Amino acid sequence: MFAKFFLVIVLVQLACAQQPFDVLLEFNSNFSTLAIQTENEITELYHFNADMVREFNRELLLELGRMVPEMREADSSFQQQIAAADGVDDECREYVQELRELFLLFQNWDIQDCAYFAHEDLEDDSINRFLPYAITFLSENTRSITQVVESFTRNNAVTNLDTFVEELDGEWEYYQTLAVSFGDFLFDEILAHADVADRVYLELVECRETAVNLQQSDQEYIMSYLDTNCEQ
């Protein structure tokens, strides 16, 4: 394979002495230049996409960061209520503490569920929205670097140079179109993250409020045992 590649390079170098074959070197230079420019632009969009995803995850983490301290503070206050309750014997108070620890498991599961569903939705969007298309564009763009050599394998440059050049003209138009279109397409993919992130964030806020309300309901239920000294 490499022997064929170097043979083609030698043929190109020898042909450069003849004016008609200068166009092949020009095509090769143009393809390479366009490929480098396109790759640089895609790389910039990669960084932009990563920055967007990091920011969305940061916002979700901040919301979780508000949720956990709020529920921890509520539990700490609840423990004080249990300890300060009047007319409650030690056996009932111990039972209420056991109930509290049991319901803490449920409350922790609520927190984990909020984090899990937010992560699943955002991860799916982060992986499947931008990256597959960017990888496809990069792969196709890289192919353009060796387009002239590839076209050599399908054409007779000695006896039918016009057909060879006609193919390269078509490929050049294709890669130019690709270079123009990919930027807008990938940028739109990045912007589309925002719609998903907004939805996930609102769902997380709702999930947090539900978890906090459930914790309050749990505590009210447990307090009913203290009110009757566990005689229910």
pTM for the model: 0.70
Does residue 100 lie within any of the structural domains?
yes
56 versus 9: the higher-pLDDT residue is 56
**CATH number reported for the structural domain that contains residue 126 in this entry:** 1.20.1270
pLDDT above 60: residue 13: no
Tell me how long the chain is.
232
pLDDT above 90: residue 77: yes
What pLDDT does residue 2 have?
37
Secondary structure string (H, E, C) spanning the chain: CHHHHHHHHHHHHHHCCCHHHHHHHHHHHHHHHHHHHHHHHHHHHHHHHHHHHHHHHHHHHHHHHHHHHHHHHHHHHHHHHHHHCCCCCHHHHHHHHHHHHHHHHHHHHHHHHHHHHHHHHHHHHHHHCCHHHHHHHHHHHHHHHHHHHHHHCCCCCCCCHHHHHHHHHHHHHHHHHHHHHHHHHHHHHHHHHHHHHHHHHHHHHHHHHHHHHHHHHHHHHHHHHHHCCCCC
Burial class (CB in 10 A: 0-12, 13-18, 19+), 219: buried
How large is the average pLDDT for residues 32-61? 88
- Residue that the structure tokens 């009210």 belong to: 220
How large is the average pLDDT for residues 180-206? 88
What pLDDT does residue 7 have?
34
Please tell me the total count of domains within the chain: 1
Quick: pLDDT tens for 85-100.
Answer: 888 788 988 999 999 9
Residue type, 101: E
What pLDDT does residue 153 have?
63
pLDDT above 90: residue 103: yes
Please check whether residue 210 is in contact with residue 110, taking contact to mean a CB–CB distance below 8 angstroms: yes
Q: Which residues contact 72 (CB under 8 A, 6 or more apart)?
A: none
- Residue that the structure tokens 């030698």 belong to: 10
Does residue 11 lie within any of the structural domains?
no
Quick: pLDDT tens for 167-180.
Answer: 788 888 888 888 88
Of 126-130, 137-141, 181-185, 205-209, where does the model show the most confidence?
Answer: 205-209
Does residue 13 lie within any of the structural domains?
no
Its domain, for residue 82, covers 19-227
Does residue 14 lie within any of the structural domains?
no
Angle in degrees, 0-180, between the axes of helices 22-84 and 90-128, rounded to the nearest 10: 170
pLDDT above 90: residue 109: yes
Does residue 67 lie within any of the structural domains?
yes
84 versus 149: the higher-pLDDT residue is 84
What pLDDT does residue 212 have?
93
21 versus 2: the higher-pLDDT residue is 21
Does residue 12 lie within any of the structural domains?
no
What pLDDT does residue 8 have?
40
d(CA 122, CA 17): 58
Please check whether residue 215 is in contact with residue 78, taking contact to mean a CB–CB distance below 8 angstroms: no
What pLDDT does residue 6 have?
35
Please check whether residue 174 is in contact with residue 32, taking contact to mean a CB–CB distance below 8 angstroms: no
Does residue 71 lie within any of the structural domains?
yes
d(CA 133, CA 195): 19
